[in-house]
Amino acid sequence: MKTRKSNQLQRAWYFSCGLIAGLTTLSLSFGSVPSRVTDDTVLYQKLSEIRVAREAQPEFDRDLNRLAAVEGRYAENLPPLGAQTRISGPAKRISQQKYRYTGTRSSSARR
């Protein structure tokens, strides 16, 4: 008799916990969905591509020629990367150093 009562109590406990978890999940899922959804196409309908008047006929050859002529103005003036640069000595020295593991790590490296 005692076992039967404890099984019923245990089942009631599991049922109530499941019910509470289900209701909580249900309320959270409905809470994350907005109640009023707007359609953005209605806001921008007048700017639709169908109703916009054409400005001009595209001329790709002329545009490409213009861009090619302007391209030289935007070239980067980078420093030379040959053997005679100012930083070539220190860069060579640093690249020739052997890596040595010291055996200690900082706390930020473990993350």
| C-alpha span between 15 and 7 (Å, rounded) | 12
pTM for the complete prediction?
Answer: 0.30
Which residue type does 23 have?
Answer: L
- Token pair listed for 10: 């245990």
What are the phi and psi torsion angles at 67 (to 5°)? Answer: -65, -40
What local confidence, expressed as pLDDT, does residue 47 receive? 59
pLDDT digits (tens, 9 = 90+) for 4-23: 888 899 999 999 999 999 99
Lowest mean pLDDT among 30-34, 36-40, 60-64, 88-92: 36-40
pLDDT digits (tens, 9 = 90+) for 43-88: 666 655 566 677 778 888 998 999 999 988 888 877 666 667 777 7
CB 79 within 8 A of CB 85: yes
